[in-house]
Structure 1
């Protein structure tokens, strides 16, 4: 199965992992290999750091990121100096990271490179646009370990997600957690145009609010919804329609809301997108059964899932069994084991 074919037509593609050693860098290199065969000019950046020689947690060698001539890269000067690829600097940006100033460069001769891009969503979007304007056909945003923010629609048009045996020694639990992430990435969208306009305005101002059935706004004096479930519950009444939460949605907020009022069953909690949910699969299923409903302003376009049956600190899964079970559980999105498919072609 071709990752490149899944990416065609999009300008910004993020690759995220549900944890360390789920195969995110393998997916990135696989996609780069397909891109290089067709000599497509692209850009690469990262919201974290990738391409290091060793995994310091598990003390194992990590796959390097290999780039070919013509590739555009947004990374730090410090990492360019220690990379084997020869690059020329195109532009020094206004952004920095813990590893130094971010520059946009062009690969002049192929080699391995480490990538560490800007830390904020707005900065990632800006350097991606710069690379598109310079001549990149599309940009790949490499997500940080166990950090899903690069999948946000405000950054990327499409997302590839890597999952694997590192998440749990129980295959069914890995599939359950992966299904959970697919679900929160695909939450229903607020369709009503007038409601959307009001909610977008509140989100832009980072304001928590309750909106009633007449679309009247009742602002809530909270800086964050963290620990605010009881306050929200006390402010709900039978006219309430939406609870707008601009930031993160966590377990305790939902639990306190449920414990405070039964009216929560008649309202929709609205968040920006699925990257704002920080609730595990078991709690999420429990809350759904209790009647919690969550909607988003913007859904995440998950176009593919890659799996890694290998676990560096425990038993690994049988690759074909893992792939078949994952595909059976997630049939509406392409699921692939890139290493297995490569070995079967040899």
Structure 2
């Protein structure tokens, strides 16, 4: 896994499609490879990670082990819950329910619990601090199934963890994984003038239509949720782009496609693929209806890890699961870190 990252990217997010999808295993594997190569790294998290008992499923989960020299950004309330000796370098201005976020350096190796900042902008800030302190790269570990830390504004590269926990049906696991891979990799809008206009609209948290002359019509809605019909009323024959700053959900597209056929002439632009909250079957239905979606920033997915075991007690045959996933996803490395297959 290290060869996918080292020397190429400074910030790497590890995101899981669900709790117990193997994200912490991927994190520990990457940390271990960095230790073997003598690379100093930084680690932080959105939310809490590293606890030995999963607080949601009450099952045993892997703990995070760090070696001397590793930098971490975590809440003060976490420091006494691990056995690594950590020297506090600085106390940041960022606060969480678990205490202030500190930047620390591991003096004696051991296990840690990580609870990083809650805001994406703060994650970016503490990552920059650790890079300036000598980390070759920073790993950003996510909580639950939040994909937001994969956003390009936060991390330069992303590793996705998926597994049997999603379903007892291996085909459904593969279907959902392919869906996430496809949405995270949606193409960007290429016109540079439109990109600049779109970024300004999104930064202002506005919903807008851009026509073929790059004129902007701001739609007076606070959110696109339940606003598909109103958005449809604002589409004209010369409309070219529809900009939605927040989440893209099923009922917005349903209302839009019912209210007008002009949706077929436009491209819907969202921030990035983490903003899509539509299941695979509905997504394919909208694509067949002629809905076109592009992003302002494309997510750089560099690897996928698979976990054939589910905490509920069932599992897929590991080699077969890996082979089947790889047969559907060919352009991104797919790995079983326990089995050793790639």
User: What TM-score, normalized by structure 2, do the two folds share?
Assistant: 0.98
Mapped partners of 1:169, 1:178: distance in 2: 14
Return the offset for 1:313: 1.2
Tell me how many residue pairs correspond in the alignment: 341
Mapped partners of 1:172, 1:124: distance in 2: 35
Offset from partner CA, 1:297-325 (integer Å, 9 cap, x none): 11000000000010111521110110000
Matches within 5 A, 1:142-221: 142-221=141-220
Mapped partners of 1:268, 1:99: distance in 2: 42
Mapped partners of 2:98, 2:289: distance in 1: 45
Return the offset for 1:227: 1.3
Mapped partners of 2:104, 2:285: distance in 1: 48
Mapped partners of 2:186, 2:101: distance in 1: 34
Mapped partners of 2:166, 2:314: distance in 1: 12
Unaligned runs of 5+ in 1: none
Offset from partner CA, 1:73-97 (integer Å, 9 cap, x none): 0001110112100000011111112
Q: State the match for 1:51 in structure 2.
A: 50
Matched, 1:7 2:5: yes
Q: State the match for 2:280 in structure 1.
A: 281
Offset from partner CA, 1:191-243 (integer Å, 9 cap, x none): 01111111111111111100011110000111111111111011111110000
How well do the aligned residues superpose, as a CA RMSD in angstroms?
Answer: 1.1
Mapped partners of 2:25, 2:185: distance in 1: 25
Return the offset for 1:56: 2.9
Offset from partner CA, 1:123-157 (integer Å, 9 cap, x none): 10001001111111110000111000010000000
Offset from partner CA, 1:242-288 (integer Å, 9 cap, x none): 00011111111111101111110110000010011111111111111
Mapped partners of 2:276, 2:110: distance in 1: 38
Mapped partners of 1:338, 1:25: distance in 2: 11
User: What TM-score, normalized by structure 1, do the two folds share?
Assistant: 0.97
Mapped partners of 1:94, 1:330: distance in 2: 42
Unaligned runs of 5+ in 2: none
Mapped partners of 2:339, 2:322: distance in 1: 9
Return the offset for 1:114: 0.3
Mapped partners of 2:271, 2:102: distance in 1: 30
Contact kept? 1:43, 1:136, Cα under 8 Å: yes
Q: State the match for 1:29 in structure 2.
A: 28
